[in-house]
Amino acid sequence: MNDIEERLYALLIQEIPVSREGLTRDTTLEEIGLDSLATIEFMFQIEDQLGIRFDQTGTPPKTLGDVFDEVHAKLAEA
């Protein structure tokens, strides 16, 4: 695991009442209580924290791994 993923876990835990224990890249956003609106809000918070912008088109992330992969791709573009 890298520093970016740890920051994302910390942000997630800060925003929703979920324990870090048991969270993996395969954990779905639905499993931790993020509906589509909450997922969008979480993505906006990531953008603000990391200074990146996600494409608003395309398939929304389904798992934490999807979120991490999108973040890594955006950071690599910068």
Q: For 9-26, write each residue's pLDDT tens digit.
A: 999 998 888 888 989 999
pLDDT, one tens digit per residue, over 24-34 is 999 999 999 99
Q: How confident is the model over 33-59, as a mean pLDDT?
A: 90
Structural domain spans, the chain: 3-16+23-77
CB 28, CB 63: distance < 8 Å: yes
Distance CA 7, CA 36 (A): 22
DSSP 8-state assignment for residue 63: B
pTM: 0.87
Q: Is the pLDDT of residue 70 over 80?
A: yes
Topology of the domain covering 3-16+23-77: 1.10.1200
What pLDDT does residue 2 have? 83
CA count, 13 A, side-chain hemisphere, 19 = 2
- Confidence class for position 60, pLDDT limits 50, 70, 90: confident
